[in-house]
Chains A and B, each alone.
Chain A
């Protein structure tokens, strides 16, 4: 099934043929405590502590929270607010490597997922700090714990990788096909579902073939080659493309009986259980016209950006933008000291002349954004409203359904920074909703006191 809207950017998947290469050990790592959506954990180490590889540096506080682990053995140099890919400094543990890469003694023993109960598997996945590796970094054990009233009957494995330039998922599917499929089986066991769909964009038929061949006999998976169109990998659109179900506005995949997991996450879950290893590394694509030697890198979480760039031969002098993630939804970086984290699917270095320059010209109402919006919104009108700071009207235009995929701004001939408008608009609209709620509460309370008096 095809969703309406979407765009066809130049895919630039030049690194698709490059084998994943392990990044050598670094002198120093910066491990932010908050690398997931949800409550940041509580720090367990202090300055001067000796830590071993895979040792937890924080412990989860509450259910929607996961720990982070030491990427290598060494000494804690500081626990402080340090540069974070999201832009503002956040609490992080800086580790000076001792070069020994000594493993932690407290690791969980290897286990067979086929013999463990779902609850035990969930615990192992949380303890290993596994988060969604597609970029949203939602804790995986939460996604694998649907409330009883939500009957989940379908697990979707997301191998779409619709962002241009990125090939990390593609390489994982090719090189770790067996682990991906085992991981899928594990997650199916956790959810208690018997049906799984694997969705891969049509520009990666080799990945689909590899997964199909690696699929164990006891994992019942259907394989679908999807139209190559951005944002095919968006949860809602992937679910629709594979099952025809539409997640309602404001709803979650669980509302239509689905759970979506990324291929990298499947491998991380398997390693957490099979080997007892926490998530301390991931595969990231380092690419773009402004990097000298593009790579698909297996990089330890916490590796500083500058070291990663240096390993890839450095950037060219005409570098204009360095982006964490893909070009459509990635976050522009400005501090070379930021670490790569669990959600960093790629480092994209664009030349100065390649990067789009928003000009904010007048909207000429061409409707290209309306055609491009995969959510059925009217970005042109919403942009005009936000431009005039009339944020209270944005609710009527379903601003909260915007997935910030960037399709509208990608096609806008006036180069209007529509996504920035909507990010701001969402924040302002949430504030307005909060205020209204507070006011209703106040009014209700006053009515109550008036009634009793």
Chain B
């Protein structure tokens, strides 16, 4: 090892004044390609943020639907984790339970189910979500459709009765075999279908919709709590504003025009925004990164498409609720949107630089 040295008065190198460096054996050093630093966020962090953001909506659901909701939640999360573990074992890959993605799928699935769902319904849903929704495509990152929504729609089509038996919210004490009723949107659809008007449906007021004191899937009822969580995600930089804003704007636009044209048969856009699964869908389901476009322009198109389809299904389709179908349809369109909205490469400008100078 060569020692660093100063120059003495006679011009000859002198012995070093500074201490010798800690010897480093080269193989101890890490070598990788650049960059050598990182912003800090990782996938488990993102999943944890979403779970935290879901907390207000979850608590509201538990408050209104009581023990039944808690049972669905526990079953769904446990089912998803077990299924994730089993699928990993099946293809002999390390189980990815620690990235929280299976937990998140479980929570989202639970929030999309009626609080009175029988145990087998929840477990089938978990298996479909993780097995058919994710694992068959190769796991996290490769699934084209939102796993929780795949499960919800699978259950809705296979078990329509159980999936539309809504418990009437009665606070934390809601019994497991509580009375059942219709969702606000369901009531409106039925009334209009029978030739009556929206007012006849006796739908709950906006305050109840906002707070969540209405029938529905247990996690979708409290628009206010969900909105709070969504805004928090936005503030933390986990989601981008394009999807929820475009989603809600498109729904409001279409339902608003319909309402203005015929208020007797079309509910006000506020009912559509606050009712049903729109808040949950716009802030938590459509914003799923894996199944939505990567560019901001793409997200705008995606969100607007979701909103448009939701409104169309709700107003003129066979189902009272269309959020799940709308998001799944737009999931299918995601690769196409990504192709359309490739950003322009820096320098591919139409403006010549002389013009830029003049400006």
A contact residues vs B (CB 8 Å cutoff)? 3, 7, 9-10, 23-28, 97, 99-101, 164, 236-237, 240, 243-249, 251, 256-257, 304, 306-311, 313-317, 319-323, 327-336, 348, 350, 352, 354-358, 361-368, 370-371, 373-378, 380-381, 398, 401, 404, 406, 409-411, 413-415, 417, 419-420, 423
Contacts and interface: CB of A to CB of B under 8 A. Distances in A.
A100 B8 CA distance: 10
Given A355-B30, A370-B294, A246 B36 contact: no
A334 B31 contact: yes
Contact of B4 (A24, A331, A335): A24
A248 to B, nearest CB: 5
Most-contacted residue by chain A among B296, B347, B359 (CB, 10 A): B347
Given A315-B21, A352-B30, A310 B338 contact: no
A236 B346 CA distance: 9
Contact of A365 (B5, B138, B290): B290
B347 A409 contact: no
B343 interface: yes
A252 B119 CA distance: 65
A334 B29 contact: yes
Contact of A350 (B36, B293, B351): B36
A381 B345 contact: no
Contacts of B13: 25, 27, 97, 99
Interface string B126-144: 0000000000001111100
A367 B289 contact: yes
Contact of B344 (A306, A376, A419): A376
B357 interface: yes
A355 B36 contact: yes
B46 A366 contact: yes
Contact of A364 (B1, B289, B293): B289
Contact of B43 (A308, A327, A350, A414): A414
A361 B44 CA distance: 11
B5 A367 contact: no
Give the secondary structure class of B's interface: loop
8 contacts: A28-B2, A243-B353, A306-B1, A310-B16, A313-B19, A319-B24, A381-B294, A410-B39
Interface of B: 1-7, 11-13, 16, 18-22, 24, 26-39, 41-43, 45-46, 99, 138-142, 240, 289-296, 299, 338, 342-349, 351, 353, 356-357, 359
Most-contacted residue by chain B among A323, A375, A413 (CB, 10 A): A413
A374 B353 contact: no
Given A306-B2, A415-B42, A371 B34 contact: no
Contact of B353 (A7, A257, A319, A358): A257
B37 A9 contact: yes
A321 B42 contact: no
A380 B291 CA distance: 14
Q: Which 4 residue pairs of A and B lie closest in terms of their CB atoms, listed nearest first?
A: A362-B141, A406-B35, A314-B21, A245-B353
Contacts of B343: 370, 373, 376-378
B35 A356 contact: yes
A398 B348 CA distance: 11
Contacts of A321: 29-32, 36
A146 to B, nearest CB: 15
A205 B347 CA distance: 29
Contact of A248 (B38, B140, B299, B347): B347
B18 A310 contact: yes
A395 B338 CA distance: 17
B47 to A, nearest CB: 9
B35 A328 contact: yes
Contacts of B27: 334
A248 B356 CA distance: 14
Nearest to A7: B39
Contacts of A350: 36-37
Contacts of A409: 34-35, 38
A314 B34 contact: no
B34 A331 contact: yes
A364 B44 CA distance: 12
Contacts of B29: 319-322, 332-334
Contacts of A368: 41
Contacts of A28: 2
A316 B23 CA distance: 10
A364 B43 contact: yes
Given A401-B346, A409-B35, A423-B33, A26 B46 contact: no
Contacts of B344: 376
Contact of B21 (A27, A309, A348, A420): A309
A401 B35 contact: no
B5 A306 contact: no
A278 to B, nearest CB: 21
Contacts of A367: 240, 289, 293-296, 299
A287 B295 CA distance: 37
Contacts of A420: 32-33
A284 to B, nearest CB: 15
A325 to B, nearest CB: 8
A249 B348 contact: yes
Contact of A332 (B16, B31, B294, B357): B31
A99 B12 contact: yes
Most-contacted residue by chain A among B3, B22, B290, B349 (CB, 10 A): B22
B346 A358 contact: no
Given A243-B353, A314-B21, A330-B36, A99 B7 contact: yes
A447 to B, nearest CB: 34
A7 B40 CA distance: 13
B42 to A, nearest CB: 5
A286 to B, nearest CB: 12
B141 to A, nearest CB: 3
Contact of B345 (A330, A335, A362, A401): A401
Contacts of B346: 3, 236-237, 240, 246, 249, 374-376, 401
Given A334-B29, A358-B32, A366-B289, A381 B39 contact: no
Contact of A376 (B7, B37, B140, B345): B345
A244 B357 contact: yes
A149 B85 CA distance: 65
A99 B11 contact: yes
Contact of A378 (B3, B19, B294, B348): B294
B353 A244 contact: yes
Contacts of B141: 361-365, 414
Most-contacted residue by chain B among A101, A329, A368, A373 (CB, 10 A): A368
A348 B294 contact: no
Given A26-B2, A314-B22, A365 B294 contact: yes
A432 B113 CA distance: 53
Given A26-B5, A327-B34, A419-B35, 6 more contacts: A9-B37, A244-B353, A320-B29, A321-B32, A348-B36, A357-B30
B50 to A, nearest CB: 12
Nearest to A370: B294
B235 to A, nearest CB: 16
A330 B36 CA distance: 8
A307 B33 contact: no
A319 B29 CA distance: 7
A397 B45 CA distance: 30
Contacts of A331: 34
B21 to A, nearest CB: 3
